[in-house]
Homo-oligomer: A and B are copies of this chain.
């Protein structure tokens, strides 16, 4: 038992050393599933890499990892060397670690309880040779359980959380609890992003609030947290994600891509204001 404790201490020491080489750590959280966390994390990584930053993405969705698919790098293998496990390299030299690289096929489930997941996350942080990065984006799974809790406890200097919500009231309630989670753990919140906000018919131009509208703004006002913007529904986002091509590059001129770039500017502004400019 004592040996196990020593081993964990040693692991935490390694995590500290690895994390000290990364200037900014941002986590993407929601509480709710299917609101576009992974799509936003992947596109944010691309946007930052295009600005010249060195970027890594840690996909903490152990059961349903989607980052490799969205970045078009499924099937890669993680090499290992003396410095540790090397992340896979995605577009624009983005470094990616995901459970998806460790699974033999699409049908293999990850049937793990909390402690197993905690173990995997500890390893991702302690043994991956991320190297010197400007940004590590951490894509969290739905819920406020083991995975986000482990991340918040293991990385003591997270710069902030990006909270993603869909516009619906059902989503808002879940996301409010996730904001409560960040407050209870005293992790700073960058702000709220409303995703899948309204739909403009590409044929007739009529606007529809398919999944509602305004939920992010409402949360922001009610709970006094910054609002980072709303990204409209655009079927090309889904198509690009399925194809593994970054939407914000492929469709840079769309309202959705522009809304997205405004979010990126606000994230940079947030870091500047905190005095921790990348």
Contacts and interface: CB of A to CB of B under 8 A. Distances in A.
Contact of A34 (B114, B149, B166, B185): B166
A202 B208 contact: yes
A114 B145 contact: yes
Instruction: Give the bracket for the number of chain A residues in contact with chain B.
Output: 35 or more
B111 A184 contact: yes
A109 B64 contact: no
A181 interface: yes
Contacts of A6: none
Given A203-B204, A208-B235, A143 B144 contact: no
Given A34-B33, A66-B173, A111-B184, A117 B142 contact: no
A8 interface: no
Contact of A145 (B32, B70, B113): B113
Given A34-B32, A63-B144, A201-B204, A210 B223 contact: no
Most buried by B among A173, A203, A233: A173
Contacts of A111: 144-145, 149, 181, 184-185
Counting chain B CB atoms within 10 Å of each CB, the highest count among A31, A103, A110, A143 belongs to A143
Interface stretch (A50-58, A236-244, A248-256): A236-244
Given A32-B34, A142-B64, A173 B204 contact: no
Nearest to A179: B107
A236 B113 CA distance: 37
A235 B198 CA distance: 10
A261 B38 CA distance: 32
Interface in A36-76: 38, 62-64, 66, 69-70
A64 B146 contact: no
A138 interface: no
B170 A108 contact: no
B235 A210 contact: yes
Given A33-B35, A33-B142, A208-B235, 19 more contacts: A33-B33, A34-B171, A62-B143, A62-B145, A64-B174, A106-B177, A107-B223, A109-B144, A110-B144, A110-B145, A111-B145, A111-B184, A111-B185, A113-B146, A113-B149, A201-B203, A203-B206, A204-B206, A209-B235
